Structure 1
Amino acid sequence: MRMASAAAQRAARAIRTSLNTWITHSRLLLAAKTALAVGLAWLIAPLVPGVADEYPYYAPLGALVSMTPTLMGSVRTGLQTVVGLGLGILLAGAVLVLWEPNVLTISLAVGIGMLIAGSRWLTVGGEYVPTAALFVLIIGGANADNYSIGYLVQMAVGIVVGLGVNLLIFPPLTVTAAVLRLNEFRELLARHLQEMSTALQEEWPPQNEEWATRDELLRTTSDAVRTALQEAEESRKANPRAQLQKRDLGLDYAQLQTLETITFHVRDMTDVLAASIWERGFAAELPDDLRAPVGEVLKAVAGALLARNGADSDPETVAVADDALTALLDRLDERSETTSSTLSVALAIAMNARRILAALAPKPPAAGNAPQRHPAPE
């Protein structure tokens, strides 16, 4: 009854989180904000004084460029775009002062612009260096001075409008989405263990082989969760909404590292169990009388892992898993005189189960965890 209630709570929480994520962090919201920013920039552009009002079409482009999924990403993109434009204009100016625009000089300016765009310090907006140089030399022509000013000013106006829209209307904060991905990863590992347990209770050999071919999914899911946490960390920077949703992402990084460790042991369990069933990769054997206790261990470890989605720790589920593991080890002790090769699969699963339970044991949080401090295991 308690497990059913916990499952219902997890399902309800996942639905609420998914709905909130879809409303506030979806591509639809970004598209709507981008459309609004472009429209506002187009309305404001003709009001810009001086020669810039002759080039209003660059303001919507600036707004479009500045709209990214995170507020800090918008700031970074906007600033580097302006820098890239400035460098491109200077490059075109050098051509106009030292030579004259022709096939050779325009090609040379674009080539130099591409080299500058590829520099490590200009990671975003670098493509505007050769673009600006090309536009000034070809479109600006004899009116290059006015064109350069109008181009740069209107792009800056659009970028400011885009930053304002991104800041004032639901500035993206993807922490909730990242936590949801972390919980989904934990549930995937638990379901994987449950399916392995079920396979040991079916007619031998079992028909369901999906769990035995999930290695790549486990790896890509781990990578996706790490990326989601990195994006969440990025979305918090300079974001006023982060003050309302305070969360120590360092703890989430620590949980991800724990899940990556558990994944390593789950993959090892999968390999040895698949080898014992279908003789894949290497020869292994799991005696008939050990299938049930091994299955109980896998099921109990899955329960302990799944319980972590509802609380920091659940002593009851961990105790159940410890009891199942102790029962399996007792059975193995009774067969200590048996040929070691016939016990290798059970021993391997027991050892991995023990290490998973050790990984689930509460640990003091590490301060200041950051993405680069938690590399994924090889």
Structure 2
Amino acid sequence: MSSTHRPVADRLAQGRDALARHPRGPRAAKAAAAAVLAWLAVQPLGGAADEYPYYAPLGAVIAVSSTVADSVRASLQGVAAILLGATIAVTVGAVVPVVPGLALVVLLGTVAAGWWRLGEMGDWVPISALFVLIIGSSGLLDYLTGYVVLTGMGAAVGVLVNAVLPPMPLTPGDRELSAVREALAAQLDDLAGGLRSDELPNQEAWLERHHDIRPQARAMGLLVAQSTQVRRVNWRARRWQDRADRQAEHARALERLSLVVDDLAGLLVRSENADREVVALGPRLRGPAASAMEAVAAVLRDQGEDGEESRSELVGEADAAVEELADVVADRMRAGVTDVLEAGAVVVALRQLVATA
């Protein structure tokens, strides 16, 4: 590529990266475009569209979601929620005066909003019921037509826009993976710091060093599901297939690592604290165990920016540190020390981390 064209290409690449890092911007732009297109689409219809055209953009905004599959689902759920709310309003309005009717439609609509099939769109049930009861009281049939039909048409436009420009939210997933790797590394470093303390921490002090990694593990599970969902009804998915597969595999590996690190932290909290007479590691094993944890943490923090050779070196150092700990445990067994089961569990956990990290 010539030097003249390279700056332009670099700027385009930087722009794509910026958009990928901030997916809400493209989504907002698509929602705005879908709203305008939905408004224009209903203008020639006349009738209810002349009086209530703003419901078409509303439906379009509802439909623009994080994935194409989510867009279709949100549209169906949104229209269903609006229909349910309208049904509640029509039924209540036919038999109850306006003032108590307001309370009743809000009560029934809020309860109905919890129906699991409506998902996040359930909140539209009481809103729809209020709109129909109050605004539509003077011309119920026309209003229902405008509200339900026009919102549905707008949702269809939103789905179409999302299908033409489908999102591929992989870069935010990469950032999530990096954040989880850092969280796991920080937990290992904190455990190593406890082992290197001049005085062995008691159980309360260990609990302060025990991070809650479960939210990260749940986030990884959601990431795997999103990586699968993003490829459905998405013409761009084939282009990003390899990267999405790698991301999903990486997320599953981190989910397993999260469980291993959490178990390791729990073992130290229970078995290597100053409140116990017999501890899992003891003075002879704490130093090698801390070194192994720090070496594994360095592998987790490495994102491959310095090349494969540098990463292989870190993995080799971590493997050597874990095997040094294993050798010390084996020496204790040969010396006749029988209470090394928990120390062996630490070795097994660290080996799993090195193999997967």
2:114 is aligned to 118
**Structure 2 match to 1:72:** 69
Which residue number in structure 1 is paired with residue 48 of structure 2? 51
Residue 139 of structure 2 corresponds to residue 143 of structure 1: yes
Counterpart of 1:175? 170
* Alignment check: 8 A CA contact 1:81 1:125 kept: yes
Q: Which amino acid aligns with 1:219?
A: R
| C-alpha distance after superposition, 1:5-30 (max 9, x if no partner) | xxxxxxxxxxx999836546532333
SS of residue paired to 1:241: coil
Report the residue type matching 1:150 in the other structure.
Answer: G
Q: 2:4 aligns to what?
A: none
- Cα distance 1:194–1:125, how it changes in 2: closer, same or farther (>3 A)? closer
Aligned partner (choices 184, 188, 201) of residue 189 of structure 1: 184
For 1:79, the aligned partner's letter is: L
Structure-1 residue corresponding to 2:198? 204
In the alignment, residue 121 of structure 1 is paired with which amino acid?
R
C-alpha distance in 1, partners of 2:238/2:61? 27
In structure 1, what is the equivalent of residue 31 of structure 2? 34
- 3-state SS of the aligned residue for 1:68? coil
Contact 2:77 2:118 in 1 (8 A): yes
1:234 corresponds to which letter in structure 2? Q
Indicate the larger mover: 323-332 or 210-219.
Answer: 210-219
| SS of residue in 1 equivalent to 2:117 | coil
State the match for 1:223 in structure 2.
218
Give unpaired runs (5+ residues) of structure 2: 1-12
> How many residue pairs are counted as aligned between the two chains?
338
Matched, 1:160 2:156: yes
Among 242, 253, 261, the alignment partner of 2:256 is 261
AA paired with 2:79? Answer: V
1:242 aligns with 2:225: no
TM-score (norm 2): 0.72
Is the 2:272–2:282 Cα contact (8 Å) retained in structure 1?
A: no
Distance 2:103 2:283 in 1: 75
Q: Cα offset for 1:261?
A: 3.4
Could you say what secondary structure the match of 1:243 adopts? coil
Is 1:328 matched up with 2:322?
A: no
Corresponding letter in the other structure for 2:142: N
Bigger shift: residues 301-310 or 64-73: 301-310
C-alpha contact (below 8 Å) 2:271/2:279 kept by paired residues: yes
Choose from 221, 228, 242 the match for 1:233. Answer: 228
Cα pair 1:51 1:146 within 8 Å, conserved: yes
TM-score (norm 1): 0.69
CA 1:21–1:199 in 2, change beyond 3 Å: closer, same or farther? farther
Query: Which letter does structure 2 place at the counterpart of 1:225?
Result: M
Change (3 A) 1:153 1:199: same
Q: Is the 8 A contact 1:198 1:295 kept in 2?
A: yes
1:81 matched to 2:78? The reply is: yes
Helix, strand or coil at the partner of 2:119: coil
Change (3 A) 1:185 1:47: same
Quick one: distance in 2 between partners of 1:54 and 1:218?
53
* Kept after mapping to 1: 8 A contact 2:27/2:66: yes
Asked if structure 1 preserves the Cα contact closer than 8 Å seen for 2:20 and 2:172, the reply is no
**Structure 2: which amino acid aligns with 1:158?**
G
